Structure 1
């Protein structure tokens, strides 16, 4: 039986910064983002996720994927051997994000 992947934060700093960021958002968006992150445990590479062409360093961990959730992006990594999804950051996409 496939139990899926465990979803964890990459570090105490990643959890603190993500929680702090999410608390500033409206409750419905907070819930939407939490559900999207939780869903990575079932499908760590959903259709709206993209593998990054360049790894992004977040708190000393390499973010290799980003998940699009409206105007927000969840940066994360997947460890297939350990069956773990590591959440590293949630950020708002801006015009400067990809330039």
Structure 2
């Protein structure tokens, strides 16, 4: 079982979303504890350990650290915006 951590920026983004989207994304994040590489997961090109999953129009970007059994959720956002923001990091 993996431990799932969420950054403060992800928490802020979640609070701005509708209740329905918060629940769907929250459920997807929680499920990463049991299976950090679910069906439909994509590894991001050019990154060693960053992955993304789709939840409706939203994307969840996260880092898997297998040696520590942790998953760190880095970003949540709409498809058109998330990748532009991610490369600014």
Q: TM-score range by the shorter chain?
A: 0.7 to 0.9
Deviation at 1:16, TM superposition (A): 2.2
Q: TM-score, normalised by structure 2?
A: 0.83
Residue equivalent to 1:18: 10
d(CA) in 2 for partners of 1:84, 1:96: 22
Residue in structure 2 matched with residue 58 of structure 1 by the alignment:
none
Which string of whole-angstrom CA distances, capped at 9 and with x for unpartnered residues, describes residues 50-70 of structure 1? Answer: 111122xxxxxx761011111
Q: Which runs of 5+ in 1 are unaligned?
A: 10-14, 56-61
Structure 1 96/22 Cα, relative in aligned 2: closer, same or farther at 3 Å? closer
Spell out, residue by residue over 1:11-39, the C-alpha distance to the aligned partner (whole angstroms, 9 max, x if none): xxxx2211221112110110110110010
Higher helix share: 2
Number of residue pairs the alignment of both structures matches: 84
Name the residue aligned to 1:48: 40
Kindly report structure 1 stretches of 4+ aligned residues shifted beyond 3 Å: 95-98
Larger Rg: 1
**Residue of structure 2 aligned with 1:92, choices 73, 78, 81:** 78
Question: Normalized per residue, which structure has more strand?
Answer: 1
- The RMSD of aligned alpha carbons is 2.1
Gaps of 5+ in 2: 85-89
- Map of 2:87 onto structure 1: none
